[in-house]
Structure 1
Amino acid sequence: MKQGKTKKKNELLADELYTKGWTVMDEYISEEFRIQLLKEQRELLYHGQFRHAGVGNGDTFAIKPEIRSDKVLWLDENQLTPLQQIYWNELDQLRIAINHRCFLGLRSFEAHFAMYPPGSFYLRHLDRFQSVNYRIVSVILYLNDTWDESEGGALRLYFTGSNGLEEHTDIFPIGGRLVVFLSGEIHHEVLPTKATRISLTGWYKDIY
């Protein structure tokens, strides 16, 4: 039954991604699994394994707190914890569904835990640019226990409306909520947060 529900969820996400370039689904994972992932994130953070996030890649990588001020911990596909492996497997099923509907040629996945402390943000940007042109689809899973809109921290997505003009929507980081969008088409930003904001952020790639 669970596999059938997961398949249906993935098909709905893939269909909406194909239709408009972005999609959101609440309660993508079980509450029990969300709590377990959040606990693991907190333990990794406590042991000092997070680092300040930067912008660019390779030789162009730089820490620029005026652009983004979150901290991240990259996951190693070859050294995943049991919980991370379960998530990896879940996201692989979503990858298959997206490929079936959107014909994007997604081959692999990369991800990191992201922690935005109070006062942090990430200015408007695209996830796919010259040095990471292999990123095709962005996938964000929020892990927070609770979230109130007064705490800010929304993910703001920019897209072209039916009238041809730019519009935007604000998506708050509610635990269990999954956001999926085209990395090279959807500009987005993280608005300043007043509370600690936790996610698992990843990208489907067209390379192995």
Structure 2
Amino acid sequence: MEAIAENIAEQLYEKGWCIVDNFLEEGFRKELLEEQQDILHHGQFRMAGVGKGGDFRIQPEIRSDKVCWMDYWQLTPLQRRYWDQIEELKSAINQRCYLGLRSYEAHFAMYPPGSFYLRHLDQFQKVSYRVVSCILYLNDEWSEDDGGALRMYLPQEDGTEEILDVFPKGGRLVIFLSGEIPHEVLMTFKERISITGWMRDIEY
């Protein structure tokens, strides 16, 4: 894990984003997927919205996924195990990138067939504390015909953007700077599962 974390930190420092396949052991990924499915079947997911605090709104024309937030103070054993890996990664990023990361927040995200999330930034006025976005995909199988790609708009030195489509292959981790890389989730044609989280420069 140490070598993987250092490699991610180096790529984040050099270009602002990184993609790592097989970030988790396969058995662990399956256990997290099973836990997510159990939480979903017990009705604990809610429609995601946009905005924060008093500006929060459910706007399915902008995003149509469902989420279940993880409570740092009441993590399950599986969630704690994943959280500890992210903490190790956070330490490596701090050592290389000097971002002052102090905490992490995350939720399970589920995109049902036909859902999407239009272009946006993860860091804005109400959530300026989000510094590094971390997305771990949990699906068993995925093909390009299933849709649901994370489309990243990568800023170039000449002021243009390069478009990169990342499909939600199980075990794949995507890391990027929250305030610098616009992105969207293209329409998915089957259920799309992830743990989406943010490393923050504030305490819990």
Hey, what's the Cα distance between the residues in 1 that align with 2:76 and 2:52?
Answer: 26
User: Residue in 2 aligned with 1:18?
Assistant: 13
1:60-119 superposed Cα distances (whole Å, 9 cap, x missing partner) = 000000000000000000000000000010000000000011000000000000000000
Paired letter, 2:145:
S
User: Residue in 2 aligned with 1:81?
Assistant: 76
Q: CA deviation at 1:166?
A: 1.1
Q: Secondary structure at the match of 1:184?
A: coil
Q: Percent identity at matched positions?
A: 62
Q: CA deviation at 1:160?
A: 1.9
User: Residue in 2 aligned with 1:3?
Assistant: none
The alignment status of 1:171 with 2:175, answered yes or no, reads: no
Stretch moving more, 20-29 or 154-163: 154-163
Specify every segment of 5 or more residues in structure 2 that has no aligned partner in the other structure, as ranges: none
Stretch moving more, 19-28 or 153-162: 153-162
Stretch moving more, 159-168 or 74-83: 159-168
Q: CA deviation at 1:161?
A: 2.9
Q: CA deviation at 1:156?
A: 0.5
Q: CA deviation at 1:143?
A: 0.1
* TM-score, scaled relative to structure 1: 0.96
User: Residue in 1 aligned with 2:109?
Assistant: 114
2:155, 2:181 within 8 Å by CA — same for their partners in 1? no
Q: CA deviation at 1:162?
A: 5.1
Paired letter, 2:99:
L
* TM-score, scaled relative to structure 2: 0.98
Paired letter, 1:64:
Q
Moved over 4 A (4+): none
Measured on the aligned residues, the alpha-carbon RMSD in Å equals 0.7
Paired letter, 1:193:
T
Hey, what's the Cα distance between the residues in 1 that align with 2:71 and 2:167?
Answer: 28
Q: Secondary structure at the match of 1:73?
A: strand
Specify every segment of 5 or more residues in structure 1 that has no aligned partner in the other structure, as ranges: 1-5
Q: CA deviation at 1:164?
A: 3.9
Hey, what's the Cα distance between the residues in 1 that align with 2:200 and 2:171?
Answer: 23
User: Residue in 1 aligned with 2:32?
Assistant: 37
| Matched residue count | 203
Stretch moving more, 152-161 or 71-80: 152-161
The alignment status of 1:195 with 2:190, answered yes or no, reads: yes
